[in-house]
Amino acid sequence: MPTSNDRPPQNRGLTAIAGAMSLITVLLIVQIWLLSAALESFLGGNRHTALPAAIFSGVMFLICLGLYAFVNRVDSEVRGSENGR
């Protein structure tokens, strides 16, 4: 049975990029929901939810930023190995 190590590095790189982009998309959906919930709460007069919402949103943004750096690095490696062939 073939393992992930048997696949060429380009394929592994592309799989990693697809996974990272999917994760960014999921985080983005959660952030959109968080923003709408925080706004709804704020308009409803509950102002104590704004701080935790902002903190969680910031954490998710930082994760997205880290994943972006990861995608950039892997993409460069994949393109480098494709050009080197």
Partner 1 sequence: MNWLRRGSSGGTASEPLWKEEFSVRTADERYVTRRQLTKFLVLTSLGMFVGNIWILIRSLFYKAPVYPQQPVAQLGEIPVGGVKLFSYPTKDDHCIMIRTGEDEYVSYSQKCTHLSCAVYYSQAENRLECPCHKGFFSIKDGSVLQGPPSRPLPHIVLEARGEQLVAVGVKG
Give 7 or 42: the residue with its C-beta nearer to partner 1. Answer: 42
Q: Does 10 bind partner 1 (CB under 8 A)?
A: no
Tokens of 2: 């073939």
Give how far Cα 38 sits from Cα of 6, 53, 55, 60, 75, Å.
47, 6, 12, 15, 35
Q: Does 28 bind partner 1 (CB under 8 A)?
A: yes
For partner 1 (CB under 8 A), the number of binding residues is 34
Q: How far is the CB of 71 from partner 1 (least distance, A)?
A: 5
Give kind and range of the element (H or E) at residue 62.
helix 50-84
Q: How far apart are CA 73 and CA 63, in angstroms?
A: 15
Q: Does 68 bind partner 1 (CB under 8 A)?
A: yes
Q: How far is the CB of 84 from partner 1 (least distance, A)?
A: 19
